[in-house]
Chains A and B, each alone.
Chain A
C-alpha cells in the first residue's frame, strides 16, 4: 500500500505565498550593496537571488514581507516600503 506519497519535488511552489504580505515589501535600493549575501542566507523563503554588487532582487510572488533582509543588511541597502 502506498500512503501519502508526494512524488514531485519542490511542488510547494504552487502556493504563491506573496499574498500573505500585509504591510510592507522589501525594496532593493542597489546603491551601497557589497554582495555579502546575508539577505540571501537569511531569507526564510529562500527567494533572494543575485551575484555581484547591486544585483540582488527577490521574488515577490513568495515574499511574506517579514523584513529580515532589511534588518540584516549591513549597508542599509534594503528598505521596507508600503505596498
Chain B
C-alpha cells in the first residue's frame, strides 16, 4: 500500500473531494504535524470511533473553536521549545470556517500564532444535509435555500473569506482546488515554510450535495477554476499572485453537471447573472492569461 498519513477505510462518500484534499494536505505537511480539526464531514468520516484514519496527532473539540485549540497547541509547543520542528494545522469545512468558527480564526490571526488554517470549501453544510453556509455560491439550490417559483436559490453572494483573512495582515493567504492537486501540495509546503498565521481555502466538490456524478469530482473542480467562478490565487505578504487561465470557458460548462444549479439551465437571465460573477472575478484577480 502507498505510504500516506491519511489511511483508507474512512467513511467518506465515493468520489469525496474533501477526502482527496485532506490526504494531499497532510501528506504535503509530513509526519511532524499536529492537527486540530473542527466539526464537519472530515471529522466525522475520518474518525469513526474508535478508529482513526490519521497518522498524526489529531484533536477534535467543537465546531467553533478549532483555531483556539490549534492556538493552544502552538503556544504549548513554543513553551516546550519544540515549535520549530513541528507544524500545527487547524482545519475545518466552510461552515466551521466562515460562519461558526470565524471569531476564533480572527483571534488566532490577530494574535499571530504560527498555525496553518485549511478551509475545505464544499460550499454548504454537507454533513448535516446540505444547508446553505456563508460560502454557498449565489443561486445555488440547498435545503435551506431551495429553488422554486418564488426563489432561484441562495440569494446572497459568497463570503470573501480569503480577503477577510488577508485583511488581518497575515503573511500568506491562498485558494486552491482539487482540480489542481500538485498546486495544493505546493501551497501547503510554501505556507508551512512561512512563520506566522496562514490561510488556505481549498475548493472540494461534494457529489452528494452538489448532485454531480461521483466520477466527476476532478472535472467539476477544474471547470470551476476554468470558468472563473472559483478563482485560484495567493496573497503573498499582501501581494496578489493569480493562477492564470489560458482558455476561459462559459459558466454553463461548470453549472450543467450539477443538480444544485439545474434550475438555472432554463433561465438565460440567471446564467447571465452567474457569468457576471465569473467576469467580475476574472477582472478583479486578473485571471486571464491573454489580457
Contacts and interface: CB of A to CB of B under 8 A. Distances in A.
Q: Is B one of A's binding partners?
A: yes
Interface of A: 4, 6, 8-17, 20, 38, 40-49, 59, 62, 64-68, 70-72, 80
Contacts of B15: 44, 64, 66-68
In the complex, which range does the number of interface residues on chain B fall in? Answer: 35 or more
Interface of B: 1-2, 4, 6-17, 19-20, 23-24, 46-56, 178, 181-182, 207, 213-219
Contacts of B49: 4, 6
A44 B72 CA distance: 31
A12 B14 contact: no
Nearest to A62: B8
Contact of A59 (B8, B54, B218): B8
Contacts of B46: 12
Nearest to B185: A41
B9 A48 contact: no
A71 B55 contact: no
A40 B20 CA distance: 10
A60 to B, nearest CB: 11
13 contacts: A9-B52, A10-B7, A12-B52, A13-B9, A42-B217, A45-B8, A45-B10, A46-B2, A46-B4, A46-B6, A47-B8, A67-B215, A68-B218
Contact of B214 (A11, A17, A67): A67
